[in-house]
Chain A
């Protein structure tokens, strides 16, 4: 014969220790005097022993850093779903933050790699300046429209490259943060230039690179004046994640070089030399 149903329904909760003290006491009294129900209780106990509840959860194996990134990723997906076609500043900031938190790369290894890139870029920048007037001559000889766009593209990429290298090599001064006012001014200038260039007849690869750069530039331009290391690291993680320095380096040979003339570039170059 089966155990009484109302008792049987309580047996699983009983063995899990989920009954109230009063219910537990009543059930124990009943089991002491009812062999059928006691047998059913024993059967449930054995079943639960056969399928033990794991002592650890799958989530326990994942670090707090992982869970930080998890919530950021969820929020980014939420925002992305909300507005798929517009680039939103905060969304990208959190994306960068999640990338930085999730991908725990060795900063030392990154620094070594970027130092090599910086040396190569700066060597080219200061060791191979074209004679003044080269581009003006080219404009006079060929089609006026196309060389102008190419020259502006080239200048845009070179400025961006110097800016990115400067950011990657920047260090806080005596723990007091860093001054990014020059970089922010240049980034605003570059954002305007990017918007002009993206409306021109350029190839898709270039358009994508401009769009990727623009995200970083917007982030930099909107950064509040608390330039501590984590903020810079977020930008660096974004630059690194998109392989922007590599892409800029690869695209460098595709365009005619043009001498840098603006004040902001001089400021940046001086910073680059001092690194």
Chain B
């Protein structure tokens, strides 16, 4: 969507147009869901957080400045809502499986699990061993591919801080995932 069109749609949404807001929802819903999923690792939670984020965005549209990037602003809301959800719902066992037992809940004995899928599972677990800020940076910058500038705006820190935490986060993940690579020929 060209910038002028995007700004026009946002302005319409700010004036209360539901049709305009729906365009914004349709444009950003997949990435909002992916972001939420990255933090929550659960479809239902991710869906609910993504939807709630849009509702909050709609309610706060008046405070959004049109010259800013709507996506970045929305992802900041998604990030905050997802972290709040994590703080309040720490009951999902998948988020706390220790890497000491990497196959603990992966249908032990089932040799048909695709290697790529299994590796992805390990990455997700390692990710959730990281401190919150490092995890946020790795998800937003590395896995979702947002720019360093966008991530700094979402997290409210400098670009330098983003780069530092990205490096530290990836190093820690490498260490956590080292058991996989030991098994490799």
Contact = CB atoms under 8 A, between A and B. Distances in A.
Contacts of A53: 142-143, 145
Given A51-B138, A70-B51, A71-B22, A58 B33 contact: yes
A67 B51 CA distance: 12
B21 A47 contact: no
Given A47-B174, A70-B47, A74-B51, A58 B142 contact: no
B173 A74 contact: no
Interface in A30-79: 44, 46-48, 50-55, 57-59, 62, 67, 70-71, 73-75, 77-79
B166 interface: yes
Given A12-B166, A51-B142, A58-B46, A78 B174 contact: no
A59 B33 CA distance: 7
Contacts of B30: 57, 59, 67
Contacts, number: 88
B8 interface: no
Contact of B170 (A9, A48, A67, A77): A48
A81 B46 CA distance: 20
A18 B151 CA distance: 15
Interface residues of A, number: 29
A21 to B, nearest CB: 18
A52 B123 contact: yes
Nearest to A61: B43
B170 A74 contact: no
A77 B55 contact: yes
23 contacts: A9-B160, A12-B163, A48-B142, A50-B170, A50-B181, A51-B138, A51-B142, A51-B173, A53-B142, A58-B38, A59-B33, A67-B29, A70-B50, A70-B51, A71-B22, A71-B29, A74-B22, A74-B29, A74-B54, A75-B25, A77-B52, A77-B55, A79-B18
Given A13-B148, A77-B51, 11 more contacts: A9-B163, A16-B145, A51-B173, A51-B177, A53-B142, A58-B37, A70-B51, A74-B54, A75-B18, A75-B22, A75-B25
Interface of B: 18, 21-22, 25-26, 29-31, 33-34, 37-38, 43, 46-47, 50-52, 54-55, 58-59, 116, 119-120, 123, 126, 138, 142-143, 145, 147-148, 160, 163, 166-167, 170-171, 173-174, 177, 181
- Which 6 interchain pairs have the tightest Cβ spacing? A59-B30, A58-B37, A47-B170, A50-B174, A74-B54, A71-B25
